């Protein structure tokens, strides 16, 4: 019988396979942003969205070459809910897996995973080192500069916005607000 962990249990699972502070912080940020979006789009399932966000990169630190593939195995071994397994894997669509994001939650994860990294990189460059005073235009400027935070796929971010049928600037704005409202300044 598969189970759905709490957000706290999901974080403990993440720590079992990830030791690097960057990966742990990224899991928390994506979890929090997923929760923010869930408040608007699926308020009955906020914690579920947060768990998916927390576990989406479960395998990345130990198995980067098998990302989204090994994660499915690990979560199956842990007897996690099949919906969580599928949803976390779907953020690797077109990169490492052919599991297309279908649920709105999966599309949000696909869109914001890379975007939170880009926004965080832009925020760190600001005098405040915070999202508290970050504006969409600053992110868009860096979005158009391919060499800036080159590891954050602009193509994936744009595809995610398209999947959500949302203008890129609206997605960026919502994600900034999510990060601003949920993450203390020191966390970026």
How confident is the prediction for the chain on average, in pLDDT?
95
pTM value is 0.94
The per-residue pLDDT for 18 is 97
Which of 89, 91, 103 has the alpha carbon at shortest distance from 45? Answer: 103
The per-residue pLDDT for 186 is 40
pLDDT tens per residue across span 58-110 = 999 999 999 999 999 999 999 999 999 999 999 999 999 999 999 999 999 99
pLDDT tens per residue across span 154-176 = 999 999 999 999 999 999 999 99
The CA-atom distances, in angstroms, between 43 and each of 52, 76, 162 are: 15, 27, 23
């Amino acid at each position: 019988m598969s189970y759905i962990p709490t957000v706290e249990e999901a974080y403990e699972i993440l720590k079992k396979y990830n030791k690097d502070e960057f990966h742990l912080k990224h899991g928390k940020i994506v979890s929090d942003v997923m929760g923010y979006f869930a408040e608007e789009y699926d308020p009955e399932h906020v914690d579920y969205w947060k768990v998916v966000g927390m576990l989406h990169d479960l395998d990345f630190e130990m198995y980067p070459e098998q990302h989204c593939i090994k994660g499915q195995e690990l979560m199956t071994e842990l007897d996690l809910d099949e919906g969580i397994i599928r949803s976390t894997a779907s953020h690797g669509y077109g990169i490492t897996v052919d599991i297309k994001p279908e649920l709105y939650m999966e599309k949000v994860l696909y869109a914001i995973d890379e975007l939170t990294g880009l926004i965080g990189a832009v925020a760190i460059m600001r005098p405040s080192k915070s999202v508290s005073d970050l504006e969409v235009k600053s992110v868009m400027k860096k979005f158009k500069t391919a060499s800036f935070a080159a590891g954050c796929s602009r193509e994936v971010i744009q595809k995610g916005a398209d999947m959500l049928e949302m203008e890129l600037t609206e997605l960026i704005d919502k994600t900034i607000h999510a990060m601003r409202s949920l993450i203390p300044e020191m966390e970026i």
